[in-house]
Copies of this chain bind each other. A is one copy, B any other.
Amino acid sequence: MTRKRDTHRRRAGNATLSDVAAAAGVSTATVSRCLNAPQLVQQATRARVEDAVNRLSYAPNFGARALAVRQTDTVGAIVPTLDNAIFARGLQSFQEELGKAGVTLLVASSLYKADLENAQVRTLVARGADALLLIGYDREPAVHEFLNRRNVPHLVAWAHDPDRAVPSVGFDNRAAMRGLAARVLALGHRRFGLITAQRIGNDRARGRWLGVLDVLREAGLDDSALTIHETTYSYENGRAGLRKILSAADPPTVVMCGNDVLAAGALQEAREMGLSVPRDLSITGFDDIEIAKITHPRLTTVRVPHREMGRRAARMLLSLRAEPEEPCSYRLDTSIRMRDSLSAPGAS
C-alpha cells in the first residue's frame, strides 16, 4: 500500500528527504547532516547528496523541521497598515535585520481594529512565530497574558511608557508632542487646532493629544483653547479636517496634526483657501517622513527614528528569543524639526 502515499494528496513531485537519501544511496540521517552540519559528512558522500538534492529540486519541508527542532526561525509583526510610510519603513529595517539572522518575517495588518489584531496574534503564534512585534499598548491585557503563557517574547513599538509592564522599543509620544506644543506656545499661539487620528484604541494618537493638552493647561489656558478634529490618517482627511477646524467661530492660529500626511493635506487645503502658511496660519506635522520636506512651505514636525526603531526591535526580539532574559524596554529620542510651516501668529 505504498501507492496510497503517492496518490494521496501529496503534491506531485515534491521530493522528500528520503527520496534524496534513496537517490544518493545513503540514509536520511546523512542527508540531513549534509544540509545542517556538512562538516560531519565525508566529502565524497556530500557531493553525491548535493547532486541528488539538485536533481530532485529538493527543498526541506519547513513544517517538519520546525516540528523536529521546536523552533521556526520566524517572527511575526502586526502593524496597523503598511499604507502608512512609518510602518512600512520600520518594517523594512525590521525585516532586514531579521534577514541577517536567517529569520523570516510574518506580516499581518490589523487596520487599527482590535479584534482583527487579536485574531492575528493567535494566528501568528499558531504559525509558530518565535516572537512578535506589536504596535502600541492599546489592547486587551488578555493578549499579553496569552503571549506570556505561551512563552512568546513580544515587544511593543512606536510607543514607550516606562510604567507599563510590556517591554517596548519606542518613544514617548506625549512628551514628544509636548515638546513641539511648547515651542508653538512660546511663539505666541493661544488658540490651537488639532487634527488627530481616532484616540480610542490608539495610544500614540492619544499621547500626542495629551501632549498638547499638557502644555495648554500648564499655561493656564482653558480647554476651549483647543479645537479637535478626529479622523483617519490620510491626505484627504487632512484637508477636510482643516476646513472643519477653520470653520469654527474663533478659529485657531495654529493647527497641529497627528502625522505628516494629515499635515500635508491641511497645508494644501490652507493654500486653496487662500491662506498663507505660516503667516496666516501655522501648521505642524509628526513623524518627519519624506513628504515633510516636499510640502510648501516645508513642514515643521517631530522627527521619529522609524528605521532605528525597526532595527532595534528586531535585535531585541532576536535576543529575547535566544535567551529568555528579563526583557527591558528601550526609549528612543525624538527631536523637533523646525522648518517653515510654523511661525509666530501672523498679521493679527
Interface contact B95-A89, CB-CB below 8 Å: no
A149 to B106, alpha carbons, bound, how many Å?
Answer: 25
Interface contact B105-A104, CB-CB below 8 Å: no
Interface contact A82-B72, CB-CB below 8 Å: no
Interface contact B107-A60, CB-CB below 8 Å: no
Most buried by B among A104, A106, A124: A104
Interface contact A235-B290, CB-CB below 8 Å: yes
A172 to B238, alpha carbons, bound, how many Å?
Answer: 33
Interface contact A127-B82, CB-CB below 8 Å: no
Question: A4 at interface (Cβ–Cβ under 8 A)?
Answer: no
A241 to B284, alpha carbons, bound, how many Å?
Answer: 30
In the complex, chain A residues 36-64 whose Cβ is within 8 Å of any chain B Cβ: 57, 59-64
A3 CB contacts on chain B under 8 angstroms? none
A12 to B99, alpha carbons, bound, how many Å?
Answer: 27
Interface contact A13-B235, CB-CB below 8 Å: no
Interface contact A128-B83, CB-CB below 8 Å: no
Known: A62-B126, A235-B293. A92 touches B83 (CB 8 A): yes
B11, B99, B128, B296: which contacts A70 (Cβ < 8 A)? B11
Interface contact A124-B151, CB-CB below 8 Å: no
23 sample A-B contacts, Cβ–Cβ < 8 Å, listed by A number = A10-B70, A12-B151, A13-B149, A13-B150, A14-B150, A57-B150, A63-B63, A63-B66, A63-B67, A63-B128, A74-B127, A82-B95, A85-B85, A85-B88, A96-B109, A104-B123, A104-B127, A261-B290, A264-B290, A268-B293, A268-B294, A294-B295, A296-B296
A126 CB contacts on chain B under 8 angstroms? 59-62
A291 to B261, alpha carbons, bound, how many Å?
Answer: 9
Chain B: minimal CB distance from A151 (Å) = 5
Question: A108 at interface (Cβ–Cβ under 8 A)?
Answer: yes
List 10 additional A-B contacts (Cβ < 8 Å) besides A85-B88, A104-B123: A10-B70, A13-B150, A57-B149, A60-B126, A62-B128, A63-B65, A63-B72, A63-B128, A92-B109, A106-B107
A104 CB contacts on chain B under 8 angstroms? 106, 108, 123-124, 127
- Please give me the residue from chain B that is nearest to A11 by CB atom: B151
- Please give me the residue from chain B that is nearest to A87 by CB atom: B88
- A-B pairs with lowest CB-CB distance, top 7: A63-B66, A88-B88, A63-B63, A82-B92, A57-B149, A62-B127, A82-B88
In the complex, chain A residues 147-169 whose Cβ is within 8 Å of any chain B Cβ: 149-151
A89 CB contacts on chain B under 8 angstroms? 82-83
Known: A67-B67, A95-B108, A151-B12. A294 touches B264 (CB 8 A): yes
Question: A122 at interface (Cβ–Cβ under 8 A)?
Answer: yes
A150 to B146, alpha carbons, bound, how many Å?
Answer: 37
Question: A91 at interface (Cβ–Cβ under 8 A)?
Answer: yes
A146 CB contacts on chain B under 8 angstroms? 57
Chain B: minimal CB distance from A143 (Å) = 12
- Please give me the residue from chain B that is nearest to A8 by CB atom: B70
Question: A125 at interface (Cβ–Cβ under 8 A)?
Answer: yes
A57 to B148, alpha carbons, bound, how many Å?
Answer: 10
